[in-house]
A = this chain, B = another copy of it.
Amino acid sequence: MSSVLSDAHLTEGMRSVFVELLVHGPLSRAEAARRLDLSPSAVTKLTKPLLQNGYLLHQPSGDRSMMGRPSQPLAVDPARAALLGVKLTEDELFAVRTDLRAEIQHELRRPLLSHAVDDVVTRIGEAVRDLTGSGQPPAALGISLAGTASGGDPVVPTSPFLGWRDVPLGDLVAAATGLPVVVENDVRALTAAQQWFGAGVGRHSFALVTVGAGLGCGLVIGGRLVSAAGRGTGLVGHLSIHDNGPLCELGHRGCARAYASSAAVRRAVASTLDRSDLTFEACLALAAEGQPAARRIFEDAGHALGQVVATVANITGVQLVILSGEAVAMYDVCAEAFDAALTAHTHWTSTPVDVVVKPFTFSEWARGAAVIALQHRILGR
């Protein structure tokens, strides 16, 4: 696959310098050299072609408030290339156009009219056209969705919400748009965005746990996004919490999903209060107002989430867990139960794990898809 930087001949060394500047820049030559364990003259040599073709630029040193006078820090020119990201849900499509540093420039949201593959490909094609307009053609398109997709494979093996099996989505969209396309599991894509441009920057290892229609978990271990084609990773939804708890739709008694998914919480509140009209947001409002049953149901959800986060940290050793997802707003009403479960289930020899709560937006998930496209184009994987 040719690279996003395809007009330059990209060596492994050039890639490393580019990624370092993209994620941590602007950096002085000396600092980039120190971080990459290279000599400053090697950095000069590696960055020369990237400066020539405009992917890097010299940042005017006056921009930075630093002691001393840094000699022309190097930075990526974010405007040098654009990326597109699309996140598919059960009934909608969210798409963004970003710059090279994954800053969102435009976004749009469209209903999916059906789950028929051709229809979805058509909708993606329309979104691509609308986001491209008469501007610079994007370098690549990332598509993220729930299921067992894994970057590099254009085929989606299973996507439960869309009812898909073995759909060659990547090839179909590539044919329809003429763009290089990367398809990835949505939680892994969001994890990639956190790794390069979010709370995971500078962390060797971390996990992202999401709560929404289901529970998800993405992992970065040893600086790499963990992927397991065919098996999936971070499958925490059916972790057993209480063996006398409520059922999930697969018949597991008391699994994490049966406590903490937005649908499970909504069903539990609606049924306890005999109010089938309640939305998840209305349930959340009731809990926030102190309605005791609603409160307890959210506390049970918080307990399950805390146990999930502790289990992930115990097994993988991550010291940071980012919490997000469509239903992450529940954290506000169940933080105490979450913290108590996290503490109770953290292994007694471990230091406490850091938890960062990221408010949810669908644009953020679409941005994750753009970052996956960027990583594949730059790293050539």
Contact = CB atoms under 8 A, between A and B. Distances in A.
A302 to B, nearest CB: 16
A217 B315 CA distance: 8
A230 interface: yes
A327 B314 CA distance: 22
Nearest to A238: B347
Interface stretch (A49-57, A220-228, A285-293): A220-228
Contacts of A25: none
A21 to B, nearest CB: 23
A224 B197 CA distance: 25
A243 interface: yes
Contacts of A235: 314-315, 317, 347, 349-350
Contacts of A314: 234-236, 238-239
Given A227-B317, A243-B243, A312-B315, A232 B345 contact: no
A317 B349 contact: no
Interface string A127-166: 0000000000000000000011000000000101000000
- Interface of chain A, helix or strand or loop or mixed? loop
Given A222-B222, A240-B307, A233 B315 contact: yes
Contacts of A65: none
Interface in A276-317: 307, 311-317
A45 interface: no
Given A240-B345, A250-B348, A221 B231 contact: no
A256 to B, nearest CB: 11
B345 A236 contact: no
Contacts of A351: 230-231
Q: Report how many copies the assembly holds.
A: 2
Given A239-B311, A244-B243, A311-B311, A317 B226 contact: yes
A350 B158 CA distance: 10
B219 A222 contact: no
A316 B317 contact: no
A39 to B, nearest CB: 16
A196 B226 CA distance: 21
B349 A158 contact: yes
A205 interface: yes
Given A147-B349, A316-B316, 18 more contacts: A221-B226, A227-B317, A230-B350, A231-B317, A232-B347, A233-B315, A233-B316, A234-B314, A235-B314, A235-B350, A236-B315, A238-B314, A238-B345, A238-B348, A240-B345, A311-B315, A312-B315, A315-B315
Interface of A: 147-148, 158, 160, 205, 217, 219, 221-222, 224, 226-228, 230-244, 250, 307, 311-319, 345, 347-351, 353
